[in-house]
């Protein structure tokens, strides 16, 4: 069941930017580095947001000049300060061996995730169905709109040829 | 020839299923009589929690996976164990075993201890220790309990669901033991260093306090249901049978330690039961749950709802 199976609207690239999502349930499917930019904007107007984070990223409040190690140190402090729940923090922390070493700016990301209407989902997405997304923990998450990050595993699926 | 983990990952992705694939209102729930319901409720609650804790175990394994592909496989297994817990909770709801709010039943003290140890030490356990412990738990608890359930219950929805779960579990067992082969084929120095690293007092004590009574407690539950404990022991034996087939698994010290423990578990006359495991079940019953503190929020992720709006 590919992206075409989804009957709602699919937004790609920067189509989500400046959009009013009032009354809509939005699913953001993206790696963490993109979700960090998309989610605060979408959460400002949407009724509910589910963030299907494909891979966590080191998120910094603003670009940090200098070596990666400095940026990661800032990202760690930012994460600990913003996210008090240790399990959620674990889900937002990149793997120290195979994960990305790059940092991504996202001042409002963790703040948006803390909002009651916003939910972080890290289970693997395995199918799109007419009314939502199915993940490997066996649940169908319903949505009206899917925002697909450019770097998402599904970004190449269903593109016009 | 090296095992093809890429092919396994493809199969795992192809075989995904959802709670929404099952008609939870289909006929058959009436086969659960009042007497059977009362007898099975604690058993089902333990089963749900063991799957849920197993999921957390795979989350820790993913942190230690030797390759990115195996890490992705563990990521899926983490989700699949969660799916099994969700599905079993949905089955409890179908059978009228949940309260009016559909709340998750309270875990017993042994499960609470397992949660505490996983939260505190799960991510710091060396790969060899964790990768050996998980298949033993999967063989002993997951495999055996599911088998009991299918023998006791005739509800077709239950059987449909467990066809999916058994199919998932067979892939879990395959991957578990193939990873042990991969670890066993590694350098002897690394194996020895990691094994010595596992011998930290808090880890050894954690395993004795958690793992030893957990299996015996489950045996007590099974016996209370009127089922022969022999079946649990047969399931435990699978651990050494499957491990024995491997070429390199025998090189892992942790495998030998847990194999020896498995041999003691299946020998009911062994002093292990009289002097350690059975007294540990009684002792752990005395631990006030509030001493363990609040578990991490992953324990709240379980749901019986196939669709989330």
For residue A48, give the CATH number of its domain: 3.50.50
Chain B residues in contact with A132 by the CB 8 A cut-off are: 307
State both tokens at A88.
């959620």
First to last CA, chain B: 47
**What interhelical angle do B34-64 and B68-94 show, nearest 10?**
170
- Closest to B54 (Cα-Cα) out of B145, B126, B128: B145
Model pLDDT for residues A68-125, shown as the tens digit of each residue: 899 999 999 999 999 999 999 999 999 988 888 889 999 999 999 999 999 999 999 9
Interface check for A5 against chain B (CB to CB < 8 A): the answer is no
Residues near B19 by beta carbon (within 8 Å), at least 6 away in sequence:
A138, A139, A140, B83, B86, B87, B90, B305, B306
pLDDT higher than threshold 80 for residue B203: no
CATH architecture of B9-14+30-299: Orthogonal Bundle (1.10)
Buried b (16+ CB within 10 A) or exposed e, B234-261: bbbbbbbebbeebeebebbbbbbbbbeb
Residue B18 bridge partners (DSSP): none
The position carrying tokens 């499957």 is B242
Closest-CA distance of chain A to residue B137, Å? 20
Mutate to test the interface with A, among B11, B18, B55, B86 (most CBs of A within 10 A): B18
Burial class of B150 by CB neighbour count within 10 A (0 to 12, 13 to 18, 19+): middle
Mutate to test the interface with B, among A135, A138, A141, A142 (most CBs of B within 10 A): A138
Using DSSP's 3-state secondary structure scheme, residue A30 falls into: strand
Q: What is the dihedral of CA B53, B133, B207, B233, to 10 degrees?
A: 90
Model pLDDT for residues B50-107, shown as the tens digit of each residue: 899 999 999 999 999 999 999 999 999 999 999 999 999 999 999 999 988 878 888 8
Using DSSP's 3-state secondary structure scheme, residue B251 falls into: helix
Q: Which domain holds residue A61?
A: 3-33+43-148
> Which residue ranges make up each domain of chain B?
9-14+30-299
**pLDDT, position B31:** 92
Asked if residue A159 belongs to a domain, the reply is: no
CA B146 to chain CA centroid, Å, is: 11
Closest-CA distance of chain A to residue B65, Å? 10
CB-CB under 8 Å, A85 with B16? no
Whether the Cβ atoms of residue A46 and residue A24 lie closer than 8 Å to each other: yes
| Interchain CB contacts (distance < 8 Å): A and B | 65
Chain A residues in contact with B296 by the CB 8 A cut-off are: 85-87
- Find the helix or strand (DSSP H, E) in which B254 lies: helix B253-266
Residues near A87 by beta carbon (within 8 Å), at least 6 away in sequence:
B296, B297, B298
**pLDDT, position B217:** 83
Distance of alpha carbon B204 from alpha carbon B6, whole angstroms: 34
Q: Which bin fits B27, alpha (ψ -120 to 50), beta or left (φ > 0)?
A: beta
CB-CB under 8 Å, A138 with B83? yes
CB-CB under 8 Å, B297 with A138? no
Burial class of A71 by CB neighbour count within 10 A (0 to 12, 13 to 18, 19+): buried
**pLDDT, position A160:** 45
Q: Could you say which of A87, A95, A138 has the minimum Cβ distance to residue B18?
A: A138
Residue A11, phi then psi, degrees to nearest 5:
-105, 135
Interface check for A157 against chain B (CB to CB < 8 A): the answer is no
pLDDT-based confidence at A157, cuts 50/70/90?
low
From chain B residues 39-68, the ones with a CB under 8 A of any chain A CB are 63, 68
Closest-CA distance of chain B to residue A134, Å? 7
Whether the Cβ atoms of residue B16 and residue A136 lie closer than 8 Å to each other: yes
CB-CB under 8 Å, A139 with B16? no
- Closest to B259 (Cα-Cα) out of B190, B167, B184: B184
Closest-CA distance of chain A to residue B288, Å? 24
Stronger pLDDT, B211 or A49, i.e. the higher one: A49
CB-CB under 8 Å, A127 with B16? yes
Residues near A160 by beta carbon (within 8 Å), at least 6 away in sequence:
none
Query: For chain B, what is the mean pLDDT?
Result: 88
Whether the Cβ atoms of residue B180 and residue B135 lie closer than 8 Å to each other: yes
Distance of alpha carbon B62 from alpha carbon B78, whole angstroms: 8
Distance of alpha carbon A132 from alpha carbon A142, whole angstroms: 4
Chain A residues in contact with B18 by the CB 8 A cut-off are: 127, 134, 138-140
State both tokens at A111.
């703040």
Domain count, chain A: 1
pLDDT-based confidence at A161, cuts 50/70/90?
very low
Asked if residue A153 belongs to a domain, the reply is: no
Asked if residue A14 belongs to a domain, the reply is: yes
Interface check for B10 against chain A (CB to CB < 8 A): the answer is no
Please list the helix, strand and coil fractions of chain B in percent, rounded to the nearest 5, in that order.
Answer: 75, 0, 25
Interface check for B296 against chain A (CB to CB < 8 A): the answer is yes
Residues near B169 by beta carbon (within 8 Å), at least 6 away in sequence:
B138, B142, B143, B146
State both tokens at B101.
């709010």
From chain B residues 184-223, the ones with a CB under 8 A of any chain A CB are none
**pLDDT, position B258:** 86
Whether the Cβ atoms of residue B153 and residue B160 lie closer than 8 Å to each other: no
Residue B226 bridge partners (DSSP): none
**pLDDT, position B13:** 96
- The whole-number average pLDDT for the span A114-139 is 97
Q: How far is CA B207 from CA A35, A90, B121, B260, in A?
A: 39, 23, 11, 14
- The whole-number average pLDDT for the span A30-38 is 96
Interface check for B18 against chain A (CB to CB < 8 A): the answer is yes
Asked if residue A154 belongs to a domain, the reply is: no
Interface check for A120 against chain B (CB to CB < 8 A): the answer is no
């Amino acid at each position: 069941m590919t992206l075409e199976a989804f009957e709602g609207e699919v937004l790609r690239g920067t189509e989500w930017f400046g959009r009013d999502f009032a009354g809509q349930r939005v699913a953001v499917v993206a790696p963490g580095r993109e979700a960090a930019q998309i989610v605060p904007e979408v959460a400002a107007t949407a009724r509910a947001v589910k963030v299907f984070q494909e891979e966590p990223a080191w998120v910094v409040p603003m670009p940090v000049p200098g070596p990666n190690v400095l940026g990661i140190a800032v990202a760690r402090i930012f994460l600990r300060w913003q996210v008090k729940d240790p399990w959620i923090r674990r889900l937002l922390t990149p793997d120290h061996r195979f994960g990305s070493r790059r940092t991504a700016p996202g001042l409002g990301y963790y703040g948006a995730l803390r909002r009651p209407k916003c939910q972080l989902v890290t289970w693997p997405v395995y199918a799109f169905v007419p009314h939502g997304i199915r993940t490997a923990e066996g649940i169908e998450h319903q949505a009206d709109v899917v925002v697909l990050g450019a770097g998402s595993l599904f970004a190449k699926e269903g593109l016009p040829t | 020839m090296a095992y093809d983990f890429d092919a396994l990952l493809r199969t795992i992705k192809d075989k995904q299923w959802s709670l929404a694939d099952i008609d939870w209102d289909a006929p058959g729930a009436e086969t659960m009589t009042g007497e059977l319901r009362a007898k099975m409720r604690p058993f089902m609650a333990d089963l749900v929690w063991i799957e849920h804790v197993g999921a957390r175990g795979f989350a820790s394994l993913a942190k230690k996976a030797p390759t990115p592909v195996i890490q992705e496989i563990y990521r899926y297994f983490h989700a699949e164990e969660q799916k099994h817990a969700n599905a079993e909770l949905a089955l409890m709801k179908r059978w009228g075993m949940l309260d009016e709010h559909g709340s998750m039943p309270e875990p017993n003290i042994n499960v609470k201890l397992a949660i505490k140890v996983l939260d505190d030490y799960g991510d710091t356990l060396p790969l060899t220790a964790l990768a050996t412990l998980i298949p033993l738990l999967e063989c002993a608890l997951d495999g055996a309990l599911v088998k009991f359930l299918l023998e006791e219950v005739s509800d077709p929805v239950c059987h449909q669901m467990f066809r999916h779960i058994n199919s998932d579990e067979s892939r879990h067992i395959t991957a578990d033991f193939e990873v042990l082969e991969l670890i066993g084929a590694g350098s002897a120095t690394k194996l020895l260093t990691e094994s010595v690293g596992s011998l930290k007092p808090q880890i050894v004590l954690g395993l004795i306090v958690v793992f030893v009574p957990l299996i015996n407690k489950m045996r007590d539950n099974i016996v209370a249901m009127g089922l022969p404990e022999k079946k649990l022991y047969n399931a435990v034996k699978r651990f050494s049978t499957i491990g024995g087939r491997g070429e390199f698994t025998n090189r892992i010290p942790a495998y030998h330690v847990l194999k020896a423990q498995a041999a003691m578990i299946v020998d009911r006359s062994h002093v292990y039961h009289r002097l350690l495991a059975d007294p540990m079940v009684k002792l752990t019953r005395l631990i006030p749950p509030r001493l363990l503190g609040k578990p991490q929020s992953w324990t709240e992720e379980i749901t019986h709802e196939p669709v989330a709006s």
